[in-house]
Amino acid sequence: MKQLIRLLILLFLSYSSFGQEYLDAEKSDPNTMGWMQEFPPPKDRTVVAADGSFFVFPALRYSVCHMRQFLPTTEVEASRGKRYTFKEKPIKGIDTVTFTPLNGSGKMTWKESLGKNYTDGMLILHKGKIVYERYFGELKPGGVHAAMSVSKTFTGTLGAMLIAEGVLDENKNAASYVPELEGSAFGDATIREILDMTTGLKYSEDYSDPKAEIWAFSAAGNPLPKPKSYKGATNYYEYLQTVQKEGKHGEEFGYKTINTDVMGWIISRVTGESIPELLSKKIWKPLGTHVDGYFQVDGAGIAFAGGGFSANMRDMAMFGEMIRNQGYFNKQQVLPASVIKDIMSGGDKGAFAKSVYGESLKNWSYRNMWWITNNEHGAFAARGVYGQTIYIDPKAEMVLVRFASYPEAKNAKIDPTSLPAYHAVAKYLMSK
Amino acid sequence: MKQLIRLLILLFLSYSSFGQEYLDAEKSDPNTMGWMQEFPPPKDRTVVAADGSFFVFPALRYSVCHMRQFLPTTEVEASRGKRYTFKEKPIKGIDTVTFTPLNGSGKMTWKESLGKNYTDGMLILHKGKIVYERYFGELKPGGVHAAMSVSKTFTGTLGAMLIAEGVLDENKNAASYVPELEGSAFGDATIREILDMTTGLKYSEDYSDPKAEIWAFSAAGNPLPKPKSYKGATNYYEYLQTVQKEGKHGEEFGYKTINTDVMGWIISRVTGESIPELLSKKIWKPLGTHVDGYFQVDGAGIAFAGGGFSANMRDMAMFGEMIRNQGYFNKQQVLPASVIKDIMSGGDKGAFAKSVYGESLKNWSYRNMWWITNNEHGAFAARGVYGQTIYIDPKAEMVLVRFASYPEAKNAKIDPTSLPAYHAVAKYLMSK
């Protein structure tokens, strides 16, 4: 139990902000820090999994590229046949593109923004070709990086695919597919409400609140042996059955990870395949990806659909480019075009405006676990804490993938120096 | 501490024999058993990592194909460029080849032997082409399987390679490369003695003895959080420094896993790379392998060089075929031919004869962590518990890879129905 408490405290600290100063991107580079480099690594340069400290900055910067070294995982098999290879056509001048940070004064260059945001990897496609590709810190071209909540977008897209295929009815409720959810808040929530996260759940994801339900969810999914005194749920699905309702479904956007895990459960129940298996079969292999990705799993082997995916940056870009091309990629229709049309049509803006994001992400919406900016280019994105993103700008014919390891799990601190930067680069590419 | 004790007891039971009857291969097929198949899997069909039961038959038959789902791992990157593809030329009649089991009466067919030995995968190359390939139970063509002590052969081959390259001197002792080993049994053991396992170590690997040192080694390498009362070594390298000498070095073969882990430490110290990194760079990528393999790691991220490798069967066959071709494969000299010559020249037969294997494996020797049969075909092999092998028959131009999940960790029970079967198939192939 002490181990678990210590882990929770460490995670709590890592998610809290005390206004402290962090080492900058260069000083916190895992290679500069010397994490796990010698044989054996010195004690103070050993990244430790057991106590949870592996996920606290600056060790976090090492760990995001090596999640499997700390957690049980299951693979998302890449293509075993012909792989897709991007054409490369580097475009000069991107580094010196300038933009004005949100709520900021003065200008910043694109290159400056990469360091500011603790970027580990940045890849930009323009018209399907790689025009910009950079690797920093611990990320290697052949390696993988934690996608964090970008994972949700894969689960959501699979859900939308099953609706398009007629396997799921978006108007039916969760309990009609997974009867075990009957007594929970999800029982009478529709597939659509779950995919768009407009469910009314008594569930706080406020990492700064030690009583937030997120901690019980995390404990349930922790694959470490449970202490004898532990009385909670022992896997993700057990936990999901205990979630209580708060308010009504369908009225307000509430960004809560467990929606994705419920969606993962529903998808697995109706297809008979785990999320890693289905993602591999339906998307990862058809794309012609090169590197096996993987999901973190709980003690029952259940993948953490809401945040446990790690993948290669170019493979991520293949997914983004397929979405930009209405589901067509690698000489085949990977997903029905109607799925992408539905994503791009966006979610309920009114429901989004009522949420805590209504102020900072004005006019946005959320659909099939994608964030829709409704900006002048019609950009939409997958987003994950510490700065992960797949950002698709249809008008500029641009797909951008960023992996990052920002010291805090707060995209609100990263957006000001990234969203306007993406838009500025998009406009720059349109001018070329 | 209770968790650890329970784990050790379970492992102890799994390695012990009480003459019990086991479910046969068909009945214990993981798909028949239904391990981890539903969402969620029923409690009695959930393979549990935390208490160690995942590695007890019949759950073992599922786990050997999914080690990463239970343990922290680190990848052995497959080729990211051009992959090698085997030519296939199936040869009929292999299933009905008959042989006489060792010490047995009557005949057995090749096909019968596969079930008898709980075979998960069998691949036979003849003159470099796939002539026979079968998958059973949980093993899939694109998947991986635990190699168990076949892992040793990779570490040993890398060691021999470094000798050939002049990086290591086989006559120097371990402490001259890793000073931390000075006070241990390895301090004055030469690289050659370590590679051929003729070190004199106070170290028992008798799984049926609860006081055997193997348990302290296993506890050190266990990546689970250590209980507060735990006073032992906290990673593999810490443990290796505590090993005491017994007898003299260089006189008797003693098959002890820690020789391989010491070799792994020495290799990493002189190359600055972990065993997974070096194996990937020097062998796995040049071979043109298709599937990332992986090593189980301890709490300090150190790979279990003596037994922690999982890999794909065809990739394993590439390695075997490269060795059979004197180091040449995929249009390049992957290893110096002198390394293979040295392996095939064999180890000290006298030292081997004195060992516990002297009786059952007559006239064999052990060199660079390969088993040399000295049979009429000059066959030599990598061998791992539960029936793993890479078996190379130079005269028959045959390479055979077997993955298996025999109920007990006793190759002495598997050899009688496999060694003569391999030899019979080799002769059959020579007749084609």
Tokens representing B92?
């009929």
Residues in chain B: 432
Q: What percent of chain A has pLDDT over 70?
A: 95
Match 């080799």 to its residue by tokens. Answer: B426
Q: From CA A271, how far away is CA A278, in angstroms rounded?
A: 8
| Cross-chain Cβ contact A74/B66 below 8 Å | yes
Q: Of B8, B39, B314, which to mutate for an interface test with A (greatest number of A Cβ within 10 Å)?
A: B39
CA distance B315 to chain A (A): 12
For residue A249, which phi and psi values (nearest 5 degrees)?
-80, 150
Q: From CA A163, how far away is CA A145, in angstroms rounded?
A: 30
Nearest one of B268, B310, B55, B295 to B162, comparing CA atoms: B268
Q: From CA B146, how far away is CA B155, in angstroms rounded?
A: 15
Nearest one of B254, B252, B283 to B267, comparing CA atoms: B283
Cα separations (Å) of B305 from B56, B70, B236, B263, B309? 22, 18, 10, 8, 8
- Could you tell me where in chain A the CATH 3.40.710.10 domains are found? 94-151+274-430
Q: Of A4, A39, A47, A144, which to mutate for an interface test with B (greatest number of B Cβ within 10 Å)?
A: A39
Query: Is ipTM over 0.90?
Result: yes
Cβ-Cβ contacts under 8 Å, B268 against chain A: 39
- Could you tell me where in chain B the CATH 3.40.710.10 domains are found? 129-431
pLDDT in tens, A170-221: 999 999 999 999 999 999 999 999 999 999 999 998 877 889 999 999 999 9
pLDDT of res. B208: 79
CA distance B250 to chain A (A): 27
pLDDT in tens, A217-266: 999 999 888 888 999 999 999 999 999 999 999 999 999 999 999 999 99
Could you say which of A3, A46, A274 has the minimum Cβ distance to residue B225? A3
Burial of residue A220 (CB within 10 Å: 0-12, 13-18, 19+) is buried
Match 């409400």 to its residue by tokens. Answer: A193
pLDDT of res. A15: 52
Q: Is residue A8 very low, low, confident or very high in pLDDT (cuts 50, 70, 90)?
A: low
Do the beta carbons of residue B91 and residue B132 sit within 8 Å?
yes
Q: Give kind and range of the element (H or E) at residue A311.
A: strand A309-311
- Distant-in-sequence, close-in-space partners of B144: CB < 8 Å, separation ≥ 6: B65, B67, B291, B293, B294, B310, B311, B312
Beta bridge partners of A89: none
As a whole number, mean pLDDT of residues A54-62 equals: 96
Q: From CA A60, how far away is CA A62, in angstroms rounded?
A: 5
CA distance B137 to chain A (A): 18
Name the least confident of A190-199, A324-333, A334-343, A409-418.
A409-418
CA distance B97 to chain A (A): 33
**Using the 8-state DSSP alphabet, how is residue A37 labeled?**
-
Do the beta carbons of residue B126 and residue B422 sit within 8 Å?
no
Q: From CA B376, how far away is CA B42, in angstroms rounded?
A: 52
pLDDT in tens, A66-102: 999 999 999 999 998 889 999 999 999 999 999 999 9
- In the chain, the amino acid numbered A338 is S
Tokens representing B335?
């290893």
CA dihedral A323, A328, A332, A337 (to 10 degrees): 90
The end-to-end CA distance of chain A, in Å, is: 59
Q: From CA A81, how far away is CA B302, in angstroms rounded?
A: 32
Beta bridge partners of A155: none
Q: From CA A259, how far away is CA B372, in angstroms rounded?
A: 57
- Distant-in-sequence, close-in-space partners of B159: CB < 8 Å, separation ≥ 6: B168, B191, B194, B195, B263, B266, B267, B368, B369
Q: Is residue B14 very low, low, confident or very high in pLDDT (cuts 50, 70, 90)?
A: low
pLDDT in tens, A20-50: 689 999 999 999 999 999 999 999 999 988 8
What's domain A94-151+274-430's superfamily in CATH?
Answer: DD-peptidase/beta-lactamase superfamily (3.40.710.10)
Tokens representing B238?
């810490």
Q: From CA B151, how far away is CA B303, in angstroms rounded?
A: 11
pLDDT of res. A14: 53
Its CATH class, for the domain covering B129-431, is: alpha beta
**Using the 8-state DSSP alphabet, how is residue B301 labeled?**
S
Cβ-Cβ contacts under 8 Å, A46 against chain B: 300-301
pLDDT in tens, B48-70: 888 889 999 999 999 999 999 99
- Continuous H helices in A59-182: 60-63, 110-116, 150-164
For the four alpha carbons of A40, A46, A47 and A48, in that order, the dihedral sign comes to positive
Q: In b/e form, how buried is each residue of A264-283, taking b as 16+ CB within 10 angstroms?
A: bbbbbbebebbbbbbbbebb
Q: What percent of chain B has pLDDT over 70?
A: 95
| Cross-chain Cβ contact B36/A301 below 8 Å | yes
Q: From CA B60, how far away is CA B186, in angstroms rounded?
A: 33
Beta bridge partners of B392: B380, B399
Cβ-Cβ contacts under 8 Å, B41 against chain A: 300-301
Q: From CA B81, how far away is CA B34, in angstroms rounded?
A: 37
Q: What would the DSSP string read from start to end of B133-183?
A: EEE-TT--TT--EE-TTHHHHHHHHHHHHHHHTTSS-TTSBGGGT-GGGTT
pLDDT of A105 higher than 80: no
Cβ-Cβ contacts under 8 Å, A77 against chain B: 142
